[in-house]
Amino acid sequence: MMSVLALDFVPMETDDLEWIAAQDRELYPFPWSEQNFADSIIAGYGCWTLFEGGQRVGYAVLMMVLDEAHILNISVSKARQGLGLGRRLLDHLGAVARAAGARQMFLEVRPSNTPALAMYGKAGFETIGRRKGYYPAVNGREDALVMRLPL
């Protein structure tokens, strides 16, 4: 198993966007665009790039609404998945949310994304609802599970 090098959670910058959008295209059939990430930075969302040993390996976007945190995107590059980096990124978002006064954190996830569901479950998220036809899918639409974590 590959080891994990030193991790740094750095606020996302415009220099990161080309790499992040390329990762999103590799990871998802319906990815965010570079402009979606740029708009998130402009909107003041918590946008983070995860560096491992000085190399970009992941990214996340967190939106705060009053005392709630909403994870809009959390991703680790394909080559570095399965090493616990997603969990480290998730824990970082939780710390950022708590520091901003959030009392709970929410996210939506595809029911077909079993690795993410396992990670969220281990982190203490509970499924609290389902949004019908939330995500575009190859054959129409896919539901989203709504998950919540008390902070």
- Catalytic residue list: 108, 120
Q: Which amino acid is at 28?
A: Y
Is the alpha carbon torsion for 19, 20, 23, 24 positive or negative?
negative
Q: What angle is formed at CA 59 by the lines to CA 6 and CA 33, rounded to 5 degrees?
A: 150
- Cβ contact 146:106 at 8 Å: yes
C-alpha–C-alpha distance, residues 65 and 68, integer Å: 5
C-alpha–C-alpha distance, residues 40 and 54, integer Å: 23
C-alpha–C-alpha distance, residues 80 and 105, integer Å: 25
